[in-house]
Amino acid sequence: MTDASLGAAPRDPARTTYAILAAISCCHLLNDMMQSLLAALYPMLKAEFALDFWQIGLLTFCFQVTASLLQPMVGTVTDRHPFPWALPMGMAATMAGLLLLASAPGYGLLVCGAGLIGIGSSVFHPEASRVARAAAGGRFGLAQSVFQVGGNFGTALGPLLAAFIVVPFGRGSVAWFAAAALLGMAILSQVSRWHARERLASARRRAAAPAATLPRRRVAIAVAVLLALLFSKQVYMASMSSYYTFFLIDRFGLDTTGAQRMLFLFLAAVAVGTVIGGPVGDRIGRRTVIWISILGVLPFTLLLPHASLFWTGVLSAIIGVIIASALPAIIVLAQELMPTRVGTMAGLFFGAAFGVAGIAAAALGLIADATGIGPVFAICSVLPVFGLLTVFLPRRAELG
């Protein structure tokens, strides 16, 4: 990728820059593929270090909460003091965490490795989301979907690579994926050059900063509702990403490889849903997409804990497609509510997504230790009822 391919010449701000969207989506794939190896390693780490479920949850907690606490801070700071070169630095932190996971001799260093990966996420996601919006050309939902789908495919790819590479070759083979981090750093260095130029050009074009058309109290209520909806979605996703393999092993007697393939099916469906959510939101409105995505998935989540193996696979795919379509709509709607705080909103919602998932993973691990893995999925099946809160979100016409 050259500077020319990234648009060295001034561009039309109404034109979508697909080369940048492809680059940032590719790097999101690499970043989240490396991050998802942590969850994919759980069965192996549990056996190797004799871990309890709460210790598995704590690994996710350290990763997710590190990212959760730092992402809003990164977004706020870079709103005020732009630093495009943060992107390759974030990828470097992820690589360092991955190498530590591959070589850690004890549980304490595994926790440190998970924390470093969280730091990498905290830097990468707000800045990459900002780049995607800068390259959107007005098609913000599409841009957010393209950016996020790279992460979804990366997350889905992690368990599959773990099944075919890490399981047969051992935990040390995780270090091989450092090559993906180096590739990502090279691409992000070029993206950072483009973004630095685009910021300067945008500053010259901007006659006045856009302003939200809603009263401050209305905006605050809408942001709170979006966070509540994100909570319901992320807790359910945490149950699937952290414990779905254990549920399949316990309920159906699958081996680790078979369970990881089923997890890949769910995560691939999540990627498809992410692709759908953004462009559809551009056409019919973010509020409508959120209605369908959160509340509409409820019948399927209620059925899943009681289904056969075949129907568990089918239902998990349907759930993945529907529930994933919410995130692009939630992020873009939050940025539309506060258009001068794009990085802050991206950091807040990506950070909240990581933090809620981390806390949920730890809490669900305690429940699984106390009651078994089945009740975890029965409890989480009712969470999409939170979708009723969508009624309090502003309609498309209110946003101007």
pLDDT for res 29 = 92
pLDDT for res 14 = 58
Least confident of 22-36, 121-135, 206-220, 251-265: 206-220
Task: Establish if 137 belongs to a structural domain.
Answer: yes
Task: Establish if 7 belongs to a structural domain.
Answer: no
pLDDT in tens, 53-95: 888 878 877 887 787 778 888 888 877 777 778 899 989 999 9
Mean pLDDT of the chain: 83
Task: Establish if 4 belongs to a structural domain.
Answer: no
pLDDT in tens, 193-227: 888 887 776 655 554 445 446 788 888 999 999 99
In angstroms, the CA 129 to CA 144 distance is 7
Task: Establish if 174 belongs to a structural domain.
Answer: yes
- Mean pLDDT confidence for 234-244: 88
Task: Establish if 175 belongs to a structural domain.
Answer: yes
- Mean pLDDT confidence for 43-60: 82
Q: Decide if pLDDT at 97 tops 80.
A: yes
Which residue is listed with tokens 């909240």? Answer: 352
Q: Find all residues with CB under 8 Å of 38, minimum gap 6, and list them.
A: 59, 60, 63, 101, 113, 114, 117
pLDDT for res 228 = 92
Q: Decide if pLDDT at 248 tops 60.
A: yes
Number of folded domains that form the chain: 1
In angstroms, how far apart are the furthest CA atoms of the chain? 63
Sign of the Cα pseudo-torsion (234, 132, 91, 69, in order): negative
CB 183 within 8 A of CB 55: no
- Mean pLDDT confidence for 125-146: 85
pLDDT for res 203 = 58
Q: Find all residues with CB under 8 Å of 4, minimum gap 6, and list them.
A: none
The 3-state secondary structure of the chain reads: CCCHHHCCCCCCCCCCCHHHHHHHHHHHHHHHHHHHHHHHCHHHHHHHHCCCHHHHHHHHHHHHHHHHHHHHHHHHHHHHCCCCCHHHHHHHHHHHHHHHHHHCCCHHHHHHHHHHHHHHHHHHHHHHHHHHHHCCCCCHHHHHHHHHHHHHHHHHHHHHHHHHHHHHHCHHHHHHHHHHHHHHHHHHHHHHHHHHHHHHHHHHHCCCCCCCCCCHHHHHHHHHHHHHHHHHHHHHHHHHHHHHHHHHHHHHCCCHHHHHHHHHHHHHHHHHHHHHHHHHHHHHCHHHHHHHHHHHHHHHHHHHHHCCHHHHHHHHHHHHHHHHCHHHHHHHHHHHHCCCCHHHHHHHHHHHHHHHHHHHHHHHHHHHHHHCHHHHHHHHCCHHHHHHHHHHCCCHHHHC
2 pLDDT band, cuts 50/70/90, is very low
In angstroms, the CA 72 to CA 366 distance is 28
CATH number at 378 reads 1.20.1250.20
pLDDT for res 4 = 42
- 8 vs 287 pLDDT, higher one: 287
pLDDT for res 400 = 59
CA angle 377, 381, 387 (to 5 degrees): 150
Q: Decide if pLDDT at 116 tops 50.
A: yes
Task: Establish if 242 belongs to a structural domain.
Answer: yes
pLDDT in tens, 172-189: 888 888 888 999 999 999
pLDDT for res 360 = 84
pLDDT for res 236 = 92
pLDDT for res 9 = 45
pLDDT for res 319 = 95
pLDDT for res 12 = 54
- C-alpha distances in angstroms, 151 versus 160, 242, 327? 15, 17, 12
In angstroms, the CA 262 to CA 254 distance is 10
Q: Whose CA is closest to 162, among 74, 263, 283?
A: 263
- 159 vs 5 pLDDT, higher one: 159
pLDDT in tens, 296-329: 999 999 999 999 999 999 999 999 999 988 888 8
- 84 vs 104 pLDDT, higher one: 104
pLDDT for res 163 = 78
Q: Decide if pLDDT at 7 tops 90.
A: no
pLDDT for res 314 = 94
- Mean pLDDT confidence for 269-289: 85
pLDDT for res 132 = 87
Q: Whose CA is closest to 133, among 150, 146, 115?
A: 146
- 39 vs 132 pLDDT, higher one: 132
Task: Establish if 393 belongs to a structural domain.
Answer: yes
- 19 vs 11 pLDDT, higher one: 19
Q: Decide if pLDDT at 262 tops 60.
A: yes
pLDDT for res 208 = 46
Domain of residue 381 covers 15-399
Task: Establish if 3 belongs to a structural domain.
Answer: no
In angstroms, the CA 68 to CA 64 distance is 6
